[in-house]
Structure 1
Amino acid sequence: MNNLRLPLLFLIVLFTFSLSSCDAIGTIFKAGAWTGLIGVFLVVLLLWFIVNKLRRRP
């Protein structure tokens, strides 16, 4: 078993519970459209990175 999977799973669960969707959407609209687009891009990039790390076999 990969030692990296458990901390990544814990981090994903932590982000899920700590970031409320209403708070995130409200903050994005206050900050502006470009900030929202950059934020969405970064989240998608982070998810892609995590999925690729979990899919790789040692």
Structure 2
Amino acid sequence: MKRISLFSIALISLLFLTSCEAVETIFKAGMWWGILLVVAVIVIILLLFFRGKNS
């Protein structure tokens, strides 16, 4: 009985660690996409502002 309990605890902890790594990877990818999109929007706004100012 004790052996089954230790095995189930080990199995559950392995499953949770794997899911945490997957979530971490998703958030890292999301963070980089967010940074790239914010920089792109700022560049487009600045281009439009300076292009409108020179006309």
| TM-score for the superposition, normalised by structure 2 | 0.47
| TM-score for the superposition, normalised by structure 1 | 0.45
Q: Which of 1 and 2 has greater Rg? A: 2
The structure showing larger relative contact order (alpha-carbon pairs under 8 Å, at least 6 residues apart) is 1
* Greater fraction of residues in helix: 2
